[in-house]
A = this chain, B = another copy of it.
């Protein structure tokens, strides 16, 4: 096999109480990439479609993660990467993570899988760091492994695969506004009240328990972020209106996807997730801000081969 086409999924990081350590994988939105063995050594990005991204390998997230893996090997051939970008950069649903895992996953398949998914994630962290200026894996891990992933530690990389109840669906709204990473970062408190931190870990432990026991009610009650959301939600117009509309339409809970501006809601069953989408659309259409919406089953497989 000299060429492979892959689907690299969008992901929701943070998941309310799981700020900075948890993410889950989406099904209905993701990038496509073609990875091809070439006689020419090195990593070359030969085609980018959808969004304007750099072709220089060392300035492209896919390229950087690919290089990290390539440099770990000693090959007498190289790889070409074609990127069909469908996840909007800056949307908060793991656009750079999809790019970062896509190249290394594809290369690994073409090479007969010399690396584990955990090792591939380590290479992808290098690509992700180009986009986000820090090493984190809470989008990468769910994109690579699927389902819900808990990144217990980045260094050393420890990823726990948390089971995902079968009827769990996500509804995502991406308001077409730009939130600068610097602004979003500046809003993070350096210190938090001990009592809030305790509430957060009670909720997070409870979320993990709810996912393990398929208990949708507990999942819903646990989807609360008392630490970061109160600050960051200010950057997202109509955040409170969206989350209220979602709950009223039957959602289990909502939160900021990644560092925003996307907002995710989780629901039991596709029908409810679609009702939630319609309720949010109704609310947001008055806002005068363009938006995209996605409804997706939780993707329990993660990145996959197309063809």
The number of residues on chain A lying at the interface, defined by a beta carbon within 8 Å of a beta carbon of chain B, is: 37
A205→B202 contact, CB < 8 A: no
B202→A162 contact, CB < 8 A: no
- Is A198 an interface residue when CB atoms closer than 8 A count as contact? yes
Q: Which residue in chain B gives the minimum CB-CB distance to A163? A: B212
- Is A218 an interface residue when CB atoms closer than 8 A count as contact? yes
Task: Report the copy number of this chain in the oligomer.
Answer: 2
A38-80 interface mask toward B, CB cutoff 8 Å, 1 = contact, 0 = none? 0000000000000000000000000000000000000000000
Select which of B17, B203, B218, B227 is within 8 A of A194 by beta carbon. B227
B212→A209 contact, CB < 8 A: yes
- Name the B residues within 8 Å of A190 (CB-CB): 193-194
Select which of B153, B158, B189, B201 is within 8 A of A21 by beta carbon. B201
User: Known contacts A201-B204, A208-B209: does B194 contact A194 (CB below 8 Å)?
Assistant: no
Select which of B19, B162, B204 is within 8 A of A204 by beta carbon. B204
User: Known contacts A212-B212, A218-B160: does B188 contact A194 (CB below 8 Å)?
Assistant: yes
* Bound Cα distance A128, B294 (Å): 49
- Is A263 an interface residue when CB atoms closer than 8 A count as contact? no
Select which of B20, B153, B221 is within 8 A of A152 by beta carbon. B221
Q: Which residue in chain B gives the minimum CB-CB distance to A162? A: B209
Q: Which residue in chain B gives the minimum CB-CB distance to A190? A: B194
* Bound Cα distance A190, B200 (Å): 15
- Is A111 an interface residue when CB atoms closer than 8 A count as contact? no
Chain A stretch 57-107: residues in CB contact (< 8 A) with chain B: none
Most buried by B among A158, A188, A192: A192
* Bound Cα distance A193, B193 (Å): 9
* Bound Cα distance A86, B222 (Å): 38
* Bound Cα distance A198, B20 (Å): 7
B202→A150 contact, CB < 8 A: yes
B200→A189 contact, CB < 8 A: no
A202→B17 contact, CB < 8 A: no
- Is A298 an interface residue when CB atoms closer than 8 A count as contact? no
- Name the B residues within 8 Å of A140 (CB-CB): none
B158→A221 contact, CB < 8 A: yes
* Bound Cα distance A194, B189 (Å): 7
Chain A stretch 118-167: residues in CB contact (< 8 A) with chain B: 150-153, 158, 160, 162
Could you tell me which A residues sit within 8 Å of B by CB distance? 17-22, 150-153, 158, 160, 162, 188-194, 197-198, 200-209, 212, 218, 221-222, 227
